[in-house]
Amino acid sequence: LLPLLLLLPPVLAEGHRAATLRLGLRDSPRAEVSPAFLSLTLDASLARDPRYVTLLSNSKLRALATALSPGFLRFGGTETDFLIFDPNKDSTSEEKILWEFQAQQEACGSRPAFATVEKVLLAQWPSQEKLILAEQNRKKHKNTTITKNTLDILYSFANCSGFHLIFGLNALLRKGGLQWDSSNAQALLDYCASQRYNISWELGNEPNSFRKKSGIHIDGFQLGQDFIHLRQLLNNYALYQHAKLYGPDVGQPRKHTRRLLRSFLKSGGKVIDSVTWHHYYVNGQSATRGDFLSPEVLDSFATAIYEVLEIVGQTVPDKKVWLGETSSAYGGGAPRLSNTYVAGFMWLDKLGLSARQGIDVVMRQVFFGAGTYHLVDANFEPLPDYWLSLLYKKLVGTKVLQVSLAGANKRKLRVYLHCTSSLNPKYREGDVTLFALNLYNVTQHLELPDYLSSKHVDQYLLLPHGKENILSRSIELNGRVLRMLDDETLPELMEKPLGPGRLLGLPAFSYGFYVIKNAKAIACI
């Protein structure tokens, strides 16, 4: 039935009219984002027991990460401020074994000999994950020691996968007068510099909730001074004189947090390279399926962006703004929601809105780790948001174009337009990528303007696979299930060519990408 519907004129069988697209192909770009726009995080809780950091050597995990490169890989999170580096401490036996294999082979080769150790760790991971999530929920945090090998394995994962590591230093190490005690950071910098590790830096995670986590209150002015101190420290190293420093990684822009951000930027804003903040839509423990499909919930993000951009514009107007950590639901994600097809509405809309409103980089919490908001699960299986991220990387370029809609509620049928990625060999300069989300419970049709009616369009429609429907943990691209071909090979992402003059049909509760070929968009040439 669907192919027939697509051939009908704009007044459709059910009496619905198609929504008409207006595309700004003659205008200059509305915004332009970093080539590393879609970036990733690893939560520092992975090092809560450093043995589990060795899982990053898994060749399947590395193949999945490499496919999303290039980008930034931020190692941070609550645990950032509870990690102590000890250069003299013995590593865990797992870390030692892995690093001995590493020494015997090429730096980025696979480690089949480590598989038996890995199997034991994976069997123990569910109980470790419970511990991590329980500590997060209770806000009870203990210090953990990390060693040279922990840093080696982390850096090797980022480097071998084509990512640039951003490492969060512990900001809760304080001297009597509440100034930051930088001696542990210095020991860590000494080691990283001795290994020639090319790293960017952060200091602390969500300083707005330090009192809740540790009983220590640090105001924005003091934190700004601490960042100036760190910048001076970095300048002492030939390798890190030009290293980037990002911060302050504040949480949602509520009143107290906005005040902290403003005073931080006035005090230390001049020494940071981008302003970072965090965003989650909902609490993972109470979120419902309805939240994930709610236009109001999705729109709340636009308000948060506006509030942060306003503060930055008034204090350090020349600085770019990054989402330094973000996902659907805080507290590790919403069980049976954040790891399914339905999470894609929040993720794709966040990518679209961020770029449109001028957020330069978006770091997805998390690539791999505890909770349900990961892109890759504990069996190293990619989840729907992984495939959505991969398609975004392959199809969506850095230049944002104007697009609007007539004939449908734009809050329920959400559309975004970019130049097509210039790195995709299938497409040419001037091609554009439209991506759309349908929150209606019926199929919606999008009609291209007349001047594009002769153009060929490649459809990349993502639908849930299997009887769980939108709560499925697997996903189809144009009707074919997406899964790895083997541990190191990803499937080809095959387009479905639509002939000229066709309406673009988007089924109920679905999302997809449409590449309009030969659109000749001026901004994309």
d(CA 327, CA 333): 8
Considering 95, 325, 447, 495, which one is annotated as catalytic? Answer: 325
Q: Are 150 and 91 in contact (CB under 8 A)?
A: yes
DSSP per-residue codes, 186-219:
HHHHHHHHHTT---EEEE-S-GGGHHHHHS----
Considering 79, 206, 447, 476, which one is annotated as catalytic? Answer: 206
The yes-or-no answer on residue 325 being catalytic is yes
Q: Are 190 and 239 in contact (CB under 8 A)?
A: no
Residue 6 backbone dihedrals phi, psi, to 5 degrees: -70, -20
d(CA 149, CA 96): 7
Q: Which of 207, 270, 208, 273 is nearest to 246 (CA)?
A: 273
Q: Are 233 and 100 in contact (CB under 8 A)?
A: no
d(CA 290, CA 297): 9
Those residues whose C-beta lies under 8 Å from the C-beta of residue 22, and which sit 6 or more positions away, are 402, 403, 404, 405, 406, 449
Residue 444 backbone dihedrals phi, psi, to 5 degrees: -115, 150
- Token look-up 């049909």 returns 505
The yes-or-no answer on residue 468 being catalytic is no
Q: Look at strands 413-420 and 432-438 and give their pairing.
A: antiparallel
d(CA 461, CA 341): 13
- Catalytic residue annotation: 206, 325
